[in-house]
Structure 1
């Protein structure tokens, strides 16, 4: 069975669906949320450059055809920071 591949809206890299963040414009309420829901979706790499570009150039808003509230970007930045903290804890020598 083929893996589910998706494309990052920022860097255009193709990756497995599980390796990307999913942002959803929920149908029919048109609200934007992370990870769950049925509706129009956009995918984003969990990297600083991709998130910065998506926010600066409004790539999420254009892909979802809806305005993305600042709280979504704040939560994505928090996820990015928490994942980098976890990564640095693993790589620190004991």
Structure 2
């Protein structure tokens, strides 16, 4: 049962498809009230690594659009890039 519980702490990055701890991923949610939000909310979600290559892969191959089943504004990718710049020292 312990192995099963540990699996809940890991998620797949939609870009690189690696299994990573949730604390090392950013969560993007399609919230039914507010649209696309980062980190908090209830709804369909996708996870991305805090890497420039994963953000660009998700953008060019439309991985977030496929995972969340909706249009993703370009402003979200610029927000992710800014967050990556702020948090690069933390990781």
Instruction: Specify the TM-score bucket, using the shorter chain as the normaliser.
Output: 0.7 to 0.9
Question: Separation in 2 of the partners of 1:30 and 1:72?
Answer: 14
TM-score (norm 1): 0.82
Q: Contact conserved, 1:30 with 1:66, CA < 8 A, in 2?
A: no
Question: Separation in 2 of the partners of 1:25 and 1:68?
Answer: 10
- Root-mean-square deviation (CA, aligned residues, Å) is 1.5
Runs (4+) of structure 1 exceeding 4 A deviation are none
1:59 to 2:63 alignment: yes
Q: Could you say which structure has the higher strand fraction?
A: 2
Give, in angstroms, the shift of residue 30 of structure 1: 6.6
Unaligned runs of 5+ in 1: 88-94
